[in-house]
């Protein structure tokens, strides 16, 4: 079942998403050579708690941290560690916060110091692919219209979209129906209706779309060792323009 949020629920969700977006921004500001991914995770954790919220990912299916921090060829679910970031790394940070009964979920890839032009282009194409999908986040369209727009844009830029992980509905649960793939033919899947909230999250690889999950059962890396980037926002379907809920303004 796809949940439709009422005005009261959406107000709580906006607040959860604002905290989540501020945590993403805070993490992004910390990305620089020498900082460990564990230090960033701690700052994310402490910030979310300071807002009276709970980190959505901590202990979710046994996940051991508050943020996923995925460097270079790690696609998603990188576990924070003593790894110290190096100049030229690209660093994907995924965060979630639970507040007043609702989750926010968002991610972005940040450059560590000076990065290669190719790496920057991967980050830019990944972010823009989210906005290509967002153009279809309206009543009258169906879920796979979003998927198709993302895939077409990514592939026309010479990159590939991860197939093994997808976006999702989000709300009282971190993962709700429907699944929102970043690939597929248009015109399929549920019809979009006002009050639905989706986490749209393209994961884009420079080479093959294939990924491997490491023995820790979380860390997901590209099969060919090439770079990967991630961009995610929680969005609300309205009668008109979609509303990006994971914006940090005013916090």
* Least gap, CB of 118 to ligand MF3 (angstroms): 25
The reply to whether 175 sits in an annotated binding site is yes
Q: Considering all CA atoms of the chain, what is the largest pairwise distance in Å, rounded to the nearest integer?
A: 48
Indicate the residue among 114 and 214 with the shorter CB distance to ligand MF3: 214
Q: Which spans of this chain sit near ligand MF3 (rule: CB under 6 A)? A: 57, 60-61, 63, 68, 77, 94, 105, 107, 199, 232
* Least gap, CB of 76 to Co ion (angstroms): 9
The reply to whether 216 sits in an annotated binding site is no
Are 138 and 192 spatial neighbours (Cβ–Cβ below 8 Å)?
yes
DSSP three-state, residue 131: helix
57's contact among ligand MF3, Co ion, none, with CB below 5 to 8 A by partner kind, is: ligand MF3
In the Cβ-directed half-sphere of 63, how many Cα atoms lie within 13 Å? 22
Q: Residue 20: enclosing H or E segment and its boundaries?
A: helix 7-30
Residue of 73, 68, 107, 78 whose CA lies nearest to 90? 73
CA dihedral 166, 243, 151, 128 (to 10 degrees): -120
Indicate the residue among 59 and 156 with the shorter CB distance to ligand MF3: 59
- In sequence order, the 6+-apart residues with CB closer than 8 A to the CB of 216 are 79
The reply to whether 118 sits in an annotated binding site is no
63's contact among Co ion, ligand MF3, none, with CB below 5 to 8 A by partner kind, is: ligand MF3
* Least gap, CB of 70 to ligand MF3 (angstroms): 10
- In sequence order, the 6+-apart residues with CB closer than 8 A to the CB of 175 are 168, 169
Could you tell me the two tokens for 44? Answer: 């994310």
Binding-residue pattern over the window 101 to 120 for Co ion, x denoting contact by CB under 5 A = ----x---------------
Q: Which residue is nearest to ligand MF3 (CB)?
A: 63
* Least gap, CB of 232 to Co ion (angstroms): 6
The reply to whether 46 sits in an annotated binding site is no
CA dihedral 101, 92, 231, 244 (to 10 degrees): 40
Indicate the residue among 114 and 164 with the shorter CB distance to ligand MF3: 164
Q: Binding-site residues for a divalent metal cation, please? A: 94, 105, 168, 201, 232
Q: Binding-site residues for substrate, please? A: 77, 175
Residues making contact with Co ion (CB under 5 A): 105, 199, 201
């Amino acid at each position: 079942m796809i949940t439709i949020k009422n005005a009261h629920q959406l107000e709580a969700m906006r607040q959860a998403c604002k905290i989540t977006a501020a945590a993403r921004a805070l993490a992004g500001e910390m990305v620089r050579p020498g900082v460990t991914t564990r230090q960033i995770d701690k700052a994310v954790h402490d910030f979310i708690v300071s807002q009276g919220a709970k980190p959505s990912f901590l202990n979710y299916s046994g996940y051991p941290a508050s943020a996923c921090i995925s460097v270079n060829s790690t696609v998603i679910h990188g576990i924070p560690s003593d790894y110290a970031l190096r100049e030229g790394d690209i660093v994907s940070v995924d965060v979630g916060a639970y507040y007043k009964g609702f989750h926010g979920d968002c991610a972005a890839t940040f450059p560590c110091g000076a990065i290669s032009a190719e790496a920057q282009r991967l980050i830019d194409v990944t972010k823009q692919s989210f906005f290509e999908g967002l153009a279809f986040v309206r009543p009258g369209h169906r879920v796979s219209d979003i998927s198709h727009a993302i895939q077409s844009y990514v592939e026309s830029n010479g990159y590939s979209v991860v197939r093994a992980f997808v976006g999702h509905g989000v709300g009282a649960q971190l993962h709700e129906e429907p699944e929102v793939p970043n690939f597929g033919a248009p015109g399929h899947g549920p019809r979009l209706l006002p009050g639905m909230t989706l986490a749209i999250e393209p994961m884009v690889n420079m080479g093959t779309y294939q990924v491997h999950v490491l023995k820790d059962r979380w860390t997901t890396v590209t099969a060919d060792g090439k770079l990967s980037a991630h961009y995610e926002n929680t969005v609300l379907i309205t009668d008109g323009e979609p509303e990006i809920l994971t914006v940090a303004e005013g916090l």
